[in-house]
Amino acid sequence: MTNARLAFVFPGQGSQQIGMLAEAAAEFPEIRSTFSEASDVLGYDLWELCQRGEQADINLTERTQPLLLTSSVALYRAWCARGGARPALMAGHSLGEWSALVCSGTLAFVDAVRLVRERGRLMQEAVPAGEGAMAAVIGLDDAAVEKACSEAAEDEVVAAVNYNSPGQVVIAGSKAAVDRAIENCKAAGAKRAMPLPVSAPFHTELMRPAAEKLAPQIEQAEFHVPEIPVIHNVHARRELDPVAIKALMVEQIYSPVRWTACVQEMSRDGIDQLVECGPGKVLAGLAKRIDRSLSCHNIETPAQLNEAALATAG
pLDDT, one tens digit per residue, over 225-265 is 999 999 999 999 999 999 999 999 999 999 999 999 999 99
**pTM score, two decimals?**
0.95
Active-site residue identified among 93, 203, 232, 297: 203
pLDDT, position 144? 97
> 3 to each of 7, 229, 296, how far by Cα in Å?
8, 13, 14
Confidence of residue 128 (pLDDT cuts 50, 70, 90): confident
Active-site residue identified among 94, 99, 174, 255: 94
First to last CA, the chain: 9
* Number of C-beta neighbours around residue 187 at 10 A: 11
Angle 126-131-137 from CA coordinates, rounded to 5°: 100
pLDDT, position 200? 84
**Do 295 and 200 touch, CB atoms closer than 8 A?**
no
Q: What is the rounded average pLDDT of the residues 145-164?
A: 97
pLDDT, position 61? 86
Between CA 227 and CA 206 the distance in angstroms is 33
Between CA 37 and CA 243 the distance in angstroms is 26
3-state secondary structure of 19: coil
**Do 79 and 31 touch, CB atoms closer than 8 A?**
no
Between CA 157 and CA 172 the distance in angstroms is 8
194: amino acid identity, one letter: M
What is the bridge-based pairing of β-strands 230-231 and 132-138?
A: unpaired
Q: Which helix (H) or strand (E) holds 264?
A: helix 259-268
Q: What is the rounded average pLDDT of the residues 2-12?
A: 95
- Residue 235 appears among annotated catalytic residues: no
Residue-wise pLDDT for 61-97, tens only, equals: 889 999 999 999 999 999 999 999 999 999 999 999 9
- Residue 224 appears among annotated catalytic residues: no
Ordered strands of the 158-165 beta sheet: 158-165, 168-174, 132-138, 192-195
Between CA 216 and CA 57 the distance in angstroms is 28
pLDDT, position 109? 98
Domains delineated in the chain: 2-126+206-311 (3.40.366.10), 132-199 (3.30.70.250)
Q: Which residues are CB-contacts of 268 (< 8 A; sequence separation ≥ 6)?
A: none
Confidence of residue 199 (pLDDT cuts 50, 70, 90): low
The DSSP secondary-structure symbol of 70 reads H
What percentage of the chain carries pLDDT values higher than 70? 99
**Do 178 and 171 touch, CB atoms closer than 8 A?**
yes
Between CA 190 and CA 176 the distance in angstroms is 19
